[in-house]
Structure 1
Amino acid sequence: MRLHCAAVLIAAWVAACTGAAAQKFQLEDVPAAASVPIAQIKPRTVIFADQRNDKLADSSSGLIPFEDWARSRPVQRRFLSLFPGFVEPTLNQQTKLKLSVYLGEARFRLPRPAATLDLSRYANIAFLEQIDPAVKHRPIVAGDAIPNKDGVAAHNRPPDRRWCADAKAICAQSRYMFEGKIPAGIQLANKLRDESKKPIPDFIEFQSEIMLITQPHLAELPGLTELDTTVTSALEQNIFWVNQVIQFGKLLAVLQRHPTEPEAAIATVYILVAVRNDVLNKQREYSNTPMLRNLVPAQLLMGKSSFNSGDSLSAGLPKYARSRIKAIADMMERE
């Protein structure tokens, strides 16, 4: 009997521990991440907000014009643009390339002191592979970074440095093959296009740099997170070249001390994607072709097409952002 009781207790303990370890973060949509009091953030809960219902958002696309965002949200522009001072590129002396942005922001609690959490362990390609296994990566160096050597893409290069030249930076060339019905839709679109036009790729290819943020910029980040506690670590991924549709992207993760619990930390994560308006506008003619109606870029990007599938980029930006942030939260809590 004693052996039986002991076995039952051990089995119950193992089951409880395994269940706790296996429990993943749940996502809760809120109007704005910073508007939720820290004390109300539940364990293993990601509070998430994006701008689709923002007063600045375009009603047809759900995206915010870059100029409106930059003018009304200067702090976000400073930290979440490709680099401080980034402006919409000038294609020639008279024409600017207009952009629109998608921004997702999230916050969650971690049951460890912020000082014990080191984001440097995520400044590598293995981190990128874990948060989205559907994207394949290979390392690159400064000489491979397209904005460093291509005059056409030079507007995506910071004025004071070259991408990937910092010894502490890790850079990657990444490729994501579209999933579900999208490749077949692109194949059909290419058949209907003028033969003189370049075919639409059935993949997204991009280059990015991932690096820790250091002082004095670390101390300035509470102005972005709107949480007035010490920032102990911050990591950013800058996507500085993309082969189509997207102009640039940014992932920024910030760790701060919990304001009232010394044994806990607060993480705030941002995902911003800047989209080219010329692509959105040029391909609106798809809406007039019954077979291509669900391939309109704005609908695909915002997850409103029957072609959307999975939880990576083929799902659309809202689901993609949620999935990536949940993966980051799960990873941080496990470690």
Structure 2
Amino acid sequence: MFWGRVPVLLAALFVSASAVDAQEFKLEEVPSVTTVAPARLKPKTIVFSDHRDDKLADAGTGLIRFEDWGRERPLQKQFLSLFPGYVEPTIKVSVHGIPKSYTEKLHIYVVEARFPIEKAPGAIDLARYTRIDVLEKIDPSIKHRRITADETAPEADPQSAYNRHPGRRWCEAPGSLCIESRYPLEGKLPVGIRLANKLEEGGKKISEFMEFQTEIRVLPPEEIDRLALAKLTGVETPVAGVLEQTIFHVNQVMQFGKLLAVLQEHPSDPNRTIATVFMALAVETDVLERKKEFESVPVLRNLIPAQVLMGKSSFNSGNSISAGLPDYVRNRIRAIAEGFGQ
């Protein structure tokens, strides 16, 4: 019954400047970023959509069922899933000593953002985001250590084998940075965890920290499907660069996370760039459905997972991870824009 383990994953996805430094940029909410033509973009303005009001989205959470996402937006699924062809994993469990398999149903939180950069695509150094010294300056509360392919959970832990890449091992792509990150939860959230652990004696204890493994890389030219990516972004100019960040293991609740930043030449000015950023987080559906067990305990009624996840609980606080997904994502997108423009 953990509620705080999903938002932290965004810290690994959004490698960027600090939120404080990024306040120059403002957000303009739109129904769909990919329908906003480059000519309509304004300086220091990010058009943004997290699709919480889409007809596909669940009214209570703003998240989209994985199967609906794949059916209605197959191009997004192709590029934003853990890997192309990814399906909801089959999990093996033991029920009264009898091994059984079931499909782990997922919901997706999908974010799109687009903004202009006042310099040519070739002047933007995406490779700097694959250096651990850059990551360490982003958020001091998150500690990183470099890992090898042998240390990844999908290789070392049979229970995580369903997240193995079918074409290669994680962390073996040339030029990639692979890290394991640890984040101690902040604000009011640890208090809620301790209370929940105390009231649920004998059950599995909720951790007060998150651990996740991430691969970050700049796609080499031979791996860039330029036609498909141009169709994904809705911008017709050539794709000049792609930064890909993949969370392939999380110690609790999340199945995966993916960020894709696509740089293209501005249609009317070769010395300017259009950046389109996509992000998808796959949340286990059963986490969103855990409600009754919290409502029955008065002190935990504000700890309902879906409410905390979407920043609608009294346990949410601040402007960072503890604020919930919507506020935190918006701050990180601002930071990405600032970082690309430096």
- Output the TM-score relative to the length of structure 1: 0.89
Matched, 1:325 2:329: no
Q: Aligned ranges for residues 243-322 of structure 1 at < 5 Å?
A: 243-282=251-290, 284-322=292-330
Larger helix percent: 1
Matched, 1:169 2:169: no
TM superposition shift of 1:301: 1.1
**From 87, 97, 116, the counterpart of 1:109:** 116
Please say if residues 37 and 235 of structure 2, whose CA atoms lie closer than 8 Å, have aligned partners that are also in contact.
no
Please say if residues 206 and 243 of structure 1, whose CA atoms lie closer than 8 Å, have aligned partners that are also in contact.
yes
What is residue 106 of structure 2 aligned with on the other side? 99
Please say if residues 182 and 314 of structure 1, whose CA atoms lie closer than 8 Å, have aligned partners that are also in contact.
yes
CA RMSD of aligned residues (A): 1.8
Quote the Cα distance in structure 2 between the aligned partners of 1:67 and 1:313: 27
Bigger-Rg structure (1/2): 1
Instruction: Number of aligned residue pairs: give it.
Output: 313
How has the CA–CA distance of structure 1 residues 223 and 37 changed in structure 2, closer, same or farther, with 3 Å as cutoff?
A: closer
Matched, 1:204 2:210: yes
Greater length-normalized contact order (CA 8 Å, ≥ 6 residues apart): 2
How has the CA–CA distance of structure 1 residues 271 and 41 changed in structure 2, closer, same or farther, with 3 Å as cutoff?
A: same
TM superposition shift of 1:256: 0.4
Matched, 1:158 2:165: yes
How has the CA–CA distance of structure 1 residues 236 and 22 changed in structure 2, closer, same or farther, with 3 Å as cutoff?
A: closer
Residue deviations 1:285-334, cap 9 Å, x none? 21232211111111111111111122332221112211111111111111
**SS of the residue aligned with 2:311?**
coil
What is residue 29 of structure 2 aligned with on the other side? 29
How has the CA–CA distance of structure 1 residues 99 and 22 changed in structure 2, closer, same or farther, with 3 Å as cutoff?
A: closer
Quote the Cα distance in structure 2 between the aligned partners of 1:290 and 1:33: 41
Please say if residues 132 and 312 of structure 1, whose CA atoms lie closer than 8 Å, have aligned partners that are also in contact.
no
Quote the Cα distance in structure 1 between the aligned partners of 2:222 and 2:78: 14
Please say if residues 104 and 272 of structure 1, whose CA atoms lie closer than 8 Å, have aligned partners that are also in contact.
yes
Q: Aligned ranges for residues 85-96 of structure 1 at < 5 Å?
A: 85-92=85-92, 94-96=101-103
How has the CA–CA distance of structure 1 residues 26 and 130 changed in structure 2, closer, same or farther, with 3 Å as cutoff?
A: farther
What is residue 82 of structure 1 aligned with on the other side? 82
Structure 1 runs, 4 residues or longer, greater than 3 Å off: 126-134
TM superposition shift of 1:283: 5.2
Residue deviations 1:61-103, cap 9 Å, x none? 2110111101111000000001001110111465100000101
Residue deviations 1:107-139, cap 9 Å, x none? 000011112223112222244345544422111
State the percentage of identical aligned residues.
Answer: 53
**SS of the residue aligned with 2:57?**
coil
**SS of the residue aligned with 2:271?**
coil
Quote the Cα distance in structure 1 between the aligned partners of 2:341 and 2:141: 22
Q: Which is worse superposed, 258-267 or 125-134?
A: 125-134
Tell me the amino acid that sits aligned with residue 32 of structure 1.
S
Tell me the amino acid that sits aligned with residue 72 of structure 1.
E
TM superposition shift of 1:59: 1.2
Tell me the amino acid that sits aligned with residue 43 of structure 1.
P
Structure 1 unaligned segments of length 5 or more: list them.
1-20
Tell me the amino acid that sits aligned with residue 198 of structure 1.
K
What is residue 16 of structure 1 aligned with on the other side? none
Quote the Cα distance in structure 1 between the aligned partners of 2:194 and 2:235: 48
Quote the Cα distance in structure 2 between the aligned partners of 1:59 and 1:65: 12
Quote the Cα distance in structure 1 between the aligned partners of 2:50 and 2:72: 16
Q: Which is worse superposed, 283-292 or 175-184?
A: 283-292
Quote the Cα distance in structure 1 between the aligned partners of 2:166 and 2:326: 31
Tell me the amino acid that sits aligned with residue 49 of structure 1.
S
What is residue 214 of structure 1 aligned with on the other side? 220
How has the CA–CA distance of structure 1 residues 254 and 133 changed in structure 2, closer, same or farther, with 3 Å as cutoff?
A: farther
**SS of the residue aligned with 1:263?**
strand
Structure 2 unaligned segments of length 5 or more: list them.
1-20, 93-99
Quote the Cα distance in structure 2 between the aligned partners of 1:28 and 1:155: 38
Quote the Cα distance in structure 2 between the aligned partners of 1:246 and 1:39: 37
**SS of the residue aligned with 2:206?**
coil
What is residue 191 of structure 1 aligned with on the other side? 198
How has the CA–CA distance of structure 1 residues 284 and 178 changed in structure 2, closer, same or farther, with 3 Å as cutoff?
A: farther
Tell me the amino acid that sits aligned with residue 183 of structure 1.
P
What is residue 239 of structure 2 aligned with on the other side? 231
